């Protein structure tokens, strides 16, 4: 490798922080020495975040729950990073290196029975402290098969494509007025707050986005549409949905003073409070995915399916009248009587504070662990159960009349015993109270005690134990994540203590760790995979990793060598890079050498807590076999091993000292760690800032701006002609 400074091609650098990149002139940079980096910047594309996750779920006494941290929504493909045990008396503590582009994580608590609660956590700092109970405080989970059932019935979707007043408005209202809309293409947006309006809509759309809006009278006719935006708060003295194709959509906070009897399409995705009765008239369609509070009774009279995937609370009765159909997929709380004269399908919880009456000819069906809890029960019809067993729980009196009863996957629990029974239990339905139903975001009641099996007796139930037959192991922790394709990539210059050409391709090696812990969150095993992608130079470089362990802490080791003479545990993968690859893999004109994979495993005899061991790159390094073992090159800020030659510090271009390690006088590094498995490194002799123009802008900001300098493929981020893409 030739020794020379970084040459032309380096683009401008922010020298003043700004929220708009275009506000600050970017001076021309022609040499690495022109780059100014903030004091203490260590060229990291990640930052350490410390998590302390406790639990407040008392259902299982002092049993262990599993905590798992994901880099995204696990239901949408988010990858797991860390996992371990937490109980009422002991939290899960871990320090994780997270890519700078990750600003949100998801924390999943799994109870001993396997039931899960998910919390979304915004990362506003480097410390996260959280306690998770039996229910989520930030997110309500509902079954994903609700909408397909609704859509297959022919009902319309309850979600509007325009829920605010930022676009598409033909008229904007900011003051009190009377609004008459007759044009189907008209979109009236009410943005004023603390105003009073009246609405007579015969066509078109009205959106309300203001707060504390009083609607003295509202009439929706024909195909008119009224939308309440998520930010809005509205009170209606009168709300009439007259046309069968008229629609009302609430995503905000709405109060209806009086009775609400929609005749068209109504949906609630926010909070809707009806002071008196809520009546679904013939031909109406209703969906609720938010919170619906009813001051008196709810009466369902429509033959269209009414769907609840949120929470409904009625202060009086709930009546399903002839020909009506209702699907409850979350929570329905009835504070007086529930009368079913038609069709009720329950996938969640129905809670009745007084009496439930199942009339003859009605359909009452429970699915997959659903629950109907009531004080008194009168059955004149049949209740059916499908899928996994569901529960009917009666706290006072049961009357089962002739021809009535339960069939299928139903457990019937009358805590005093069934007082009057002229019916039957058939096809698997039986009396009993032992069925376990977990408390969830939709079921605040639950029932029974979870059947917990712990085959290996380590304290972590089989349902949450990654190694249920091995008492020494329980949980997996990954860096960067559990995805098989995930890895982070190390890029080294090999001229230390002299500056190199900054193509950062002399050693290109990616890595992925699985840190295995026991049920007490102690590290018991390290499993690592490394892939050597490039060896761009003539130097015979070695590669190793120093772990935060004493050398004597390492037990059986495979796939590498435990280096002698070290105080810490140092694992060596190879001593001479030229023996590992036949070609450099940095010059496109040459034949491509195969990527070489190293799989390393070792047991940890001292079993340190995961909270101190951490999840990250640890301390990887290379050294010049040509010059001697003491010529180590580490990431900026990382410390040398016991075998480094301390006499070399401060020589050449190195300015190690006073708490700084492996940086030049101007703070420039000899290596970077890129949180990407498929990092496209520069071709031989091309400095990295020519290939990645925003690299210097990222460095100049101290790692705050352009955190995606390596992954963004938009124009101006990379020059593919200077990258090794073979």
| Residue 172 DSSP one-character state | E
Total structural domains within the chain: 4
The whole-angstrom separation of Cα 311 and Cα 317 is 16
- pLDDT tens readout for residues 660-682: 999 999 999 999 999 999 999 99
pLDDT confidence bin for 289, thresholds 50/70/90 = very high
Q: So what's the pLDDT on residue 152?
A: 32
Cis peptide before 480 (omega within 30 of 0): yes
Whether 143 is covered by a domain: the verdict is no
pLDDT at 132 over 70: yes
Judge whether residue 30 has pLDDT over 60: no
Q: Which residue has the higher pLDDT, 197 or 15?
A: 197
% pLDDT > 90, the chain: 83
CATH assignment of the domain containing 110:
2.60.40.1120
- For residue 679 the two structure tokens come to 């990092």
For residue 282, name the pLDDT band (cuts at 50, 70, 90).
Answer: confident
- Let me know: does 13 contact 696? Beta carbons within 8 Å: yes
Please say which residue of 336, 370, 397 terminates a domain. Answer: 336
Assess whether 508 and 623 both reside in one domain. yes
477 located within any domain: no
Last residue of a domain, one of 384, 417, 439: 439
Helix/strand/coil percent split, the chain, to 5? 5, 40, 55
With a cut of 50, say whether residue 111 has pLDDT above it. yes
Specify the pLDDT at position 33. Answer: 60
390 and 508 assigned to the same domain = no
pLDDT at 157 over 50: no
Residue-wise pLDDT tens digits, 167-184: 999 999 999 999 998 888
461: in domain: no
Per-residue pLDDT reduced to its tens digit, 386-410: 999 999 999 999 999 999 999 999 9
- Compute, in degrees rounded to 10, the torsion defined by CA atoms 335, 336, 341, 343: 10
Assess if residue 91 is contained within a domain. Answer: yes
Looking at the predicted structure, is the pLDDT value of residue 145 above 80?
A: no
Q: Is residue 716 left, alpha or beta, with left meaning phi > 0 and alpha meaning psi from -120 to 50?
A: left
pLDDT band for position 137 (50/70/90)?
low
Is 488 a domain residue?
yes
For residue 200, is pLDDT > 70? Answer: yes
pLDDT of 138 higher than 70: no
CA pair distance 538, 584, nearest whole angstrom? 9
Q: What's the average model confidence in pLDDT over 79-90?
A: 96
The two beta strands, 331-334 and 311-314, are parallel
Residue 183: Cβ within 10 Å count? 11
Claim to verify: residue 329 and residue 362 sit in the same structural domain: no
Residues 192 and 260 in one domain: yes
In the prediction, which pLDDT does 32 show? Answer: 58
User: Which of the 8 DSSP states describes residue 437?
Assistant: B
Tokens of 480: 């960067």
235 and 364 both lie in a single domain? no
Given 439, 469, 502, the domain boundary residue is 439
Element (H, E) at 610: helix 610-613
14: in domain: no
| pLDDT given for residue 136 in this prediction | 65
Alpha helix positions (H), 115-207: 146-152
Half-sphere exposure of 432 (CA within 13 A, CB side): 13
Q: Are residues 306 and 365 in the same domain?
A: no
Q: Give the residues across from 373 on adjacent strands.
A: 351, 393
> 161 in a domain, yes or no?
no
- Which pLDDT score is estimated for 415? 87
Sign of the C-alpha dihedral computed for residues 128, 132, 137 and 142 taken in this order: positive
Please write the tens of the pLDDT for every residue from 345-373: 999 999 999 999 999 999 999 999 999 99
* Site of tokens 């399409």: 265
pLDDT for 27 beyond 50:
no
Q: Which residues pair with 550 in a beta bridge?
A: 568
Residues near 52 by beta carbon (within 8 Å), at least 6 away in sequence: 91, 92, 93, 127, 128, 129, 130
Half-sphere exposure of 547 toward its Cβ, with a 13 Å CA cutoff?
Answer: 30
Quick one: average pLDDT of 244-266?
Answer: 95
Q: Are residues 229 and 312 in the same domain?
A: yes
Mean per-residue pLDDT over the chain, rounded: 90
Quick one: 312 and 392 in the same domain?
no
Q: Which residues pair with 351 in a beta bridge?
A: 333, 373
pLDDT number for residue 483: 95
CA distance 483 to 528: 13
* 182 shares its domain with 306: yes
Q: Is the model's pLDDT at 101 over the cut of 80?
A: yes
| pLDDT score recorded for residue 114 | 86
- CA distances in angstroms from 174 to 204, 212, 641, listed in the order given: 19, 12, 69
pLDDT at position 78 over 70: yes
Q: Are residues 421 and 309 in the same domain?
A: no
Domain presence at residue 38: no
Task: Domain of residue 106: give its range.
Answer: 46-132
Same domain, 533 and 604: yes
CB atoms within 10 A of CB 226: 26
Residues in the chain: 726
pLDDT, position 318:
98
Torsion angle in degrees (nearest 10) through CA of 719, 720, 723, 726: 180
What SS3 string covers 190-241? ECCCCCEEEEEECCCEEEECCCCEEEEEEEECCCCEEEECCCCEEEECCEEE
Per-residue model confidence as pLDDT tens digits over 613-655: 999 999 999 999 999 999 999 999 999 999 999 999 999 999 9
Q: Nearest Cα to 371, choosing from 320, 424, 330?
A: 330
Nearest to 13 by CA among 23, 24, 3: 24
Q: Are residues 235 and 86 in the same domain?
A: no
């Amino acid at each position: 490798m030739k020794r020379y400074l970084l040459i032309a091609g380096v683009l401008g650098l922010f020298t003043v922080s700004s929220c708009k990149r275009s506000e600050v002139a970017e001076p021309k940079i022609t040499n690495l020495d022109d780059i100014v980096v903030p004091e203490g910047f260590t060229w990291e594309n990640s930052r350490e975040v410390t998590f302390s996750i406790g639990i407040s779920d008392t259902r299982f006494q002092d049993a262990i729950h599993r905590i798992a941290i994901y880099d995204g929504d696990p239901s949408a493909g988010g990858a797991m990073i860390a996992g371990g045990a937490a109980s009422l008396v002991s939290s899960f503590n871990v320090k994780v290196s997270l890519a700078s582009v990750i600003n949100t994580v998801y924390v999943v608590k799994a109870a001993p029975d396997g039931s899960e609660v998910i919390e979304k956590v915004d990362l506003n700092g480097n410390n996260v402290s959280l306690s998770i109970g039996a229910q989520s405080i930030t997110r309500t989970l509902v079954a994903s098969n609700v909408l397909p059932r609704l859509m297959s019935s022919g009902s319309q979707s309850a979600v509007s494509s325009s829920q605010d007043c930022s676009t598409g408005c033909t008229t904007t209202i900011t003051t009190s007025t009377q609004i008459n809309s007759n044009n189907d293409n008209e979109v009236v947006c009410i943005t004023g707050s603390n105003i009073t309006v009246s609405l007579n809509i015969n066509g078109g759309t009205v959106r309300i986005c203001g707060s504390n809006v009083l609607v003295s009278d509202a009439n929706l006719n024909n195909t008119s549409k009224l939308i309440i935006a998520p930010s809005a708060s509205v009170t209606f003295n009168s709300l009439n949905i007259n046309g069968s194709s008229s629609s009302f959509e609430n995503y905000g906070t709405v109060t209806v003073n009086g009775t609400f009897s929609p005749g068209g399409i109504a949906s609630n995705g926010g909070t809707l409070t009806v002071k008196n009765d809520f009546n679904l008239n013939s031909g109406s369609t209703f969906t609720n995915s938010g919170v619906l509070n009813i001051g008196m009774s709810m009466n369902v009279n429509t033959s269209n399916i009414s769907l609840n995937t949120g929470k409904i609370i009625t202060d009086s009765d709930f009546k399903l009248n002839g020909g009506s159909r209702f699907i409850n997929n979350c929570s329905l709380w009835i504070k007086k009587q529930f009368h079913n004269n038609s069709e009720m399908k329950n996938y969640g919880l129905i809670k009745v504070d007084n009496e439930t009456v199942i009339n003859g000819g009605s359909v009452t069906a429970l699915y997959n662990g659903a629950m109907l809890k009531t004080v008194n029960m009168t059955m004149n019809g049949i209740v059916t159960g499908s899928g996994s067993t569901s529960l009917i729980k009666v706290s006072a009196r049961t009357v089962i009349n002739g021809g009535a009863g339960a069939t299928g996957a139903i457990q019937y629990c009358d805590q005093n015993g069934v007082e009057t029974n002229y019916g039957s239990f058939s096809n698997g339905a039986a009396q009993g109270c032992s069925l376990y139903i977990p408390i969830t975001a939709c079921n605040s009641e639950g029932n029974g005690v979870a059947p917990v099996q712990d085959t290996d007796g380590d304290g972590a139930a089989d349902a949450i134990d990654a190694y249920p037959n091995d008492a020494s192991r329980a949980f997996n922790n990954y860096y960067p994540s559990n995805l098989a394709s995930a890895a982070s990539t190390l890029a080294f210059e090999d001229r230390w203590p002299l500056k190199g050409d900054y193509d950062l391709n002399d050693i290109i090696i990616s890595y992925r760790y699985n840190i295995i812990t026991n049920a007490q969150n102690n590290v018991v095993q390290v499993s690592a995979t490394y892939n050597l992608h490039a060896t761009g130079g003539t130097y015979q470089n070695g590669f190793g990793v120093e772990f935060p362990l004493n050398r004597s802490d390492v037990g059986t080791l495979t796939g590498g060598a435990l280096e002698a003479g070290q105080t810490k545990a140092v694992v060596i993968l190879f001593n001479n890079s030229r023996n590992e690859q036949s070609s450099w893999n940095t010059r496109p004109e040459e034949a491509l050498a195969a990527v070489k994979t190293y799989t390393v495993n070792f047991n940890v005899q001292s079993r340190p807590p995961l909270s101190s061991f951490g999840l990250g790159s640890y301390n990887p390094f290379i050294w010049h076999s040509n010059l001697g073992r003491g010529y180590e090159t580490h990431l900026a800020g990382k410390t040398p091993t016991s075998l480094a030659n301390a006499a070399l510090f401060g020589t050449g271009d190195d300015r190690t000292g006073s708490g700084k390690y492996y940086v030049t006088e101007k703070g420039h590094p000899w290596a970077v760690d890129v949180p990407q498995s498929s990092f496209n490194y520069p071709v031989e002799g091309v400095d990295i800032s020519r290939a990645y123009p925003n690299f210097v802008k990222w460095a100049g900001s101290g790692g705050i701006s352009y955190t995606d300098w390596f992954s963004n493929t938009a124009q101006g981020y990379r020059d593919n002609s200077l990258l090794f893409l073979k």
